[in-house]
Amino acid sequence: MNSVFAYLASAEVTDVGRKRRNNEDAVLRVPEAGVFCVADGMGGVQGGEVASKATVDALRDVFTVSPDAPFAVTAAAAARLASRAVNRASQWIKARSEERGLNGTGSTVVMLLFDRVMPEQARVLHAGDSRAYRYRKGKLQQLSADHSVAAAAGLADDKNLPAMFRGVITRAVGLEEAVLLEETPADVAAGDIFLLCSDGLTKMVPDKTISKLLRKHAADEPEALARLLVGEALKAGGEDNVSVVLVRVADALPQGPTQEVPARARELEQEAVAAAVPAATGTADDAERETGQTAVTGQTVDSAGFAGEGVTPPEWSRKTAQPPATPATPFPNEGETPAVQEEPEPDPDGFATERITRTGLPLLQPARPRRWVWVLALAAAAGAAAFWVWLKR
């Protein structure tokens, strides 16, 4: 392992579960870059499996072979690169699904990005209902907020929702050409355990049980602990694919700053700020109209905008099977069902006019803004769900 992140020990475990025929989850660990990810695809083997793999492969490329990879030394700069990679994957997935008639293809994503300069800092980026947790001193804290109809209705889960709203997520990679990634700062302390997981874990194993297992087995090796969590989901029924990435922080953190920040890293940070923050006289609403960003607890998140990496899904994407003669039925595995998501404005860096040449698939031009239509539709769905729950009381 790179000595910069020698204080991190990590492991990944993914399982198809007991009810599914194929695994639409994908996991990623780039420990030398302090980058960890879980993606949960939807749309079957032709769609979801490809979407989740495209998402993690785009992230792997941007943090290993892209020209800016060496400059992702701060969590903020890494978040900028991650957003670019995920949006390129989203664009490719959207184009591919439309070409092949695979409506509803997409993937959730949750990432944990550590800071090389300030070891006590990290960031979580996510879209969908794959989750990030931090376990510290006997307490489990969820760091990500689900992008789902249930969450929008203020519910802890979707068990009391009408069937049409269960499992419906409101944000994912590939549903639109650009995806809004919610970004959450996360402080890091000695002895912390970070958990990234697909909903195959959280729908089977309550948070209380996860916390109990982490408390009892905190000293175990990360792989053994990850396997224990996955095994618990399988024991509970294993109704979905289940994936876990576990990162444990050593008992002592390096004292930061550990190195100087290169000028290019600062440029990446400033690009994110410029894309997400309105002028001093503007408002949060102005920012959303102008940049397609959403303010979350004082944070604004870069949703698109990248130039020059040339990160594309790799050669495996050319080996996928041809689509059936008739359009595939959306969500053949009856997994998550996406709702419409907010559509960001056309990207100022012009990425939507490029082509992914390795697959030969044209990238679509940005559609006309329809944000308020989607906002109203989502609000109506959440309101209907909340009203239904109220009637049942």
**pLDDT per position as a tens digit, 195-205:** 999 999 999 99
Per-residue pLDDT of 26-66, as tens digits, reads: 999 999 999 999 999 998 778 899 999 999 999 999 999 99
Residues 309 and 235: their CA atoms lie apart, in Å, by: 43
> How confident is residue 155, by pLDDT bands cut at 50, 70 and 90?
confident
Q: Which amino acid appears at position 139 of this protein?
A: K
What's the pLDDT score for residue 229? Answer: 99
Q: Residue 346: what pLDDT?
A: 39
pLDDT: which is higher, 103 or 69: 69
Strands 168-169 and 139-142: unpaired
CA dist., res. 84 & res. 181, Å (int): 10
Contact 26/55 with Cβ under 8 angstroms? yes
- Looking at residue 160, its pLDDT comes to 78
Residue pLDDT, tens place only, 2-18? 579 999 999 999 999 99
The maximal CA–CA distance of the chain, rounded, in angstroms, is 60
Average confidence (pLDDT) over 273-295: 38
Per the CB < 8 A criterion, the answer to whether 218 and 15 are in contact is: no
Per-residue pLDDT, averaged over 304-333, amounts to 32
Q: Compute, in degrees rounded to 10, the torsion defined by CA atoms 206, 209, 214, 215.
A: 140
> Which amino acid, one-letter code, is at 259?
Q
pLDDT of residue 195: 99
Cis? peptide before 257, omega within 30° of 0: yes
Reported as a pLDDT band with limits 50, 70 and 90, residue 162 is confident
- pTM, two decimal places: 0.73
- Yes or no: say if 147 and 184 are a contact pair by the CB < 8 Å rule: no
pLDDT greater than 90 at residue 391? no
Name the more confident of 49 and 155: 49
Predicted confidence (pLDDT) at residue 211 exceeds the cutoff of 50: yes
The pLDDT, as a whole number, for residue 273 is: 64
Is the pLDDT confidence value at 181 over 90? yes
When pLDDT is averaged across residues 166-178 and rounded to a whole number, the result is 91
> Picking from 205-209, 212-216, 282-286, which range would have the lowest pLDDT averaged per residue?
282-286
Average pLDDT over residues 78-100: 96
**Percent of the chain scoring above 70 in pLDDT:** 68
Domains and CATH numbers, the chain: 3-392 (3.60.40.10)
At 385, the pLDDT band (50, 70, 90 cuts) reads low
Poorest-pLDDT segment among 86-90, 105-109, 291-295, 351-355: 351-355
In the prediction, which pLDDT does 233 show? 98
Cα pseudo-dihedral 319, 324, 329, 332, rounded to 10: -50
| Predicted pLDDT of residue 358 | 27
